[in-house]
Amino acid sequence: EEITAHSSNVSSLVLGKSSGRLLATGGDDCRVNIWSVNKPNCIMSLTGHTTPIESLQINTNEELIVAGSQSGSIRVWDLEAAKILRTLLGHKANICSLDFHPFGSFVASGSLDTNIKLWDVRRKGCVFRYKGHTEAVRCLRFSPDGKWLASAADDHTVKLWDLAAGKIMFEFTGHTGPVNVVEFHPNEYLLASGSFDRTVRFWDLEKFQVVSCIEEEATPVRCVLFNPDGCCLYSGFQDSLRVYGWEPERCFDVVLVNWGKVADLSICNNQLIGVSFAQSTVSSFVVDLSRVTKSGSIPHGLIRDDEPLVPPTPTGSSLRRIYDRPSTSCSKPQSRVKHNSESERRSPSSEDDRDEKESKAEIQNPEDYKEIFQPKNAICRTPPRNNEPFPAPPEDEPVAAKEAVKPSQAVDVQTPLPKQEFVRTVLLLLELLSRFLLQPDPVQRPPIASSTPLPRTEPSVIPAARNEPIGLKVSDFLPAVKNQSQTELVDEEAMSQIRKGHDTMCVVLTSRHKNLDTVRAVWSTGDIKARMWRYPSNSVDSAVAINDLSVVVDLLNIVNQKASLWKLDLCTIVLPQIEKLLQSKYESYVQTGCTSLKLILQRFLPLITDILAAPPSVGVDITREERLHKCKLCYKQLKNISNIVKNKSGLSGRHGSAFRELHLLMAVLE
């Protein structure tokens, strides 16, 4: 879809990475316009800059946007409040790149003046200046753990900066042209960079060396984006989207997309959204990733003949370290970082205040604005996390030319099962049936041969211990009989009917066994801190990713027995799962959820409230910012859970007693 975004030429674009639906455009008319992808009308127009917009970035929550101009000024707007938040002055030339810290209130900016500055948005001041590049800084990216900053520049280099130590960690050389873009792998210590020299390079951040280099392209690399699970890298070129692997270097797929100056990529609902611009027009493109080959396919000629094909890395394992979050405090910045003068760090002058008053956020489409930017205290906020996918493209479009071959889902079913396992399963089913048939019941039952489906009345809460199957009907397992007087069945027919569900039952049990094996394998690797945080080395996170509450319950029953295993990191992962457990129909799930929630409230609620009430720190303290971010997340999740606890505290019996105790512990949240 094409829209006319500005009255003059468009100079920059950015997509919101959380929803994939929020688009911001900057133009030579000095305005920043906010759009919803696939809608023709502008939602909001932000004014205040007096020179063309050169760079844009939206924060992770899609609540703030920062824009840098040709004059070197930077403005931060609050999209939900529809107002200017900060004006940051200090650069002497064009702002070429911007990025928000993943959880701290910091913004990094790179300029044509070769400097990189780290700004504290709350205090309106520049905290550090990182100097090392000799030409314009074209791209900045914070690492997923928020401790490093990667910069790409026209001087053909990629530099990695340690924010806590305030110094450069390493300079990656190898590109022969200006480097346009850098991107961190979401899990591993891996960095990708794309350049005007038409190459994509992958760098190992543990050994500080090149992993591989892809050199076959005919046009410069305009943008790159890792798949959310880290299995591949998407690269945007002038006329195509290419899907790469790096060990060894290979091209999994090529999708022809005539998007021209593609400026940014985002992934949502298994769709890749790309945006490009030409003069005053902005175009959006959608690629269905279910039709794109991401791994395991025949490489497109990027592997050299004299090198064997290395098999793909098994899921759940990693060739290099993953990002962790150690609890060490930030060290004092070293002398090689140039501290800013007092004039650069001081609060804005009256001239700056007047500048902010002249900045406006003009809401041009109130309906879309209310839909996308609801107040922060609303129950839900759009763009929603689970947006409806964009309509599929017509079959004759180039995007649809590639369709990934999906593996058969019936592979496990076709695998012959051992005879002993089959016998055990049949005996178990027969035991259940005999127990059900022999149990005395004063209520007159319909003939077991009846084929008429009957409505099942199952209890709202299934007890943890029960003497009979819940909702199990014999007629589900036995064939229908035309003559109701014929109640005796031939053994072969009964066995044949029972065997029909055997394969399905074995697949379910095998899947559960595999899931528990996966969690056990992750649990047994690394130290407990690593186990509790990053996927795939995080056993709790891997259990959540499996999307099976029974596996989460099994794991929590272990963790609940040892309170010392609980960390603040773990709370942020577990609390959304506890919310599901408390609303489960299974009594055992509710009991586990209550036990875990009680441990969290006793150990962490006082800490969370103290940290949230503390005044902001001075300078850069990444560890404190990280802790503050986690506490805010936990507090928000606990507020959601408190409503459930309050509603269930009126129940009678053991459940009601547990919920009333939790309600008292959560009184401080009210």
- What are the structural domain ranges in the chain? 2-294+359-368, 510-669
* pLDDT at residue 529 in the model: 39
Q: Residues of the chain with pLDDT > 70: what percent?
A: 68
Is pTM, for the whole model, over 0.85? no
* pLDDT at residue 573 in the model: 85
Burial class (CB in 10 A: 0-12, 13-18, 19+), 497: middle
* pLDDT at residue 215 in the model: 85
The CATH classification of domain 2-294+359-368, taken from the options 2.130.10.10, 1.10.287.610, 3.40.50.12780, 3.30.2230.10 = 2.130.10.10
* pLDDT at residue 274 in the model: 92
* pLDDT at residue 570 in the model: 84
User: Distance between CA atoms of 166 and 102, rounded to whole angstroms?
Assistant: 18
* pLDDT at residue 664 in the model: 85
- Predicted confidence (pLDDT) per residue in 461-514, tens digit: 666 655 545 544 555 555 555 554 444 556 677 777 777 777 777 777 777 777
- Residues (pLDDT < 50) of the chain are 297-318, 325-351, 376-385, 395-419, 436-458, 468, 471-472, 484-487, 526-537
Peptide bond into 248 cis (omega under 30): yes
- Predicted confidence (pLDDT) per residue in 280-296, tens digit: 899 999 999 988 988 76
Peptide bond into 366 cis (omega under 30): no
> Are residues 127 and 120 in contact, defined by beta-carbon separation less than 8 angstroms?
yes
What 3-state DSSP class applies to 78?
A: strand
Q: Are strands 106-111 and 115-120 parallel, antiparallel or unpaired?
A: antiparallel
> Are residues 120 and 105 in contact, defined by beta-carbon separation less than 8 angstroms?
yes
* pLDDT at residue 481 in the model: 52
> Are residues 264 and 14 in contact, defined by beta-carbon separation less than 8 angstroms?
yes
- Predicted confidence (pLDDT) per residue in 189-242, tens digit: 999 999 999 999 999 999 899 999 998 677 889 999 999 989 999 999 988 899
* pLDDT at residue 1 in the model: 77
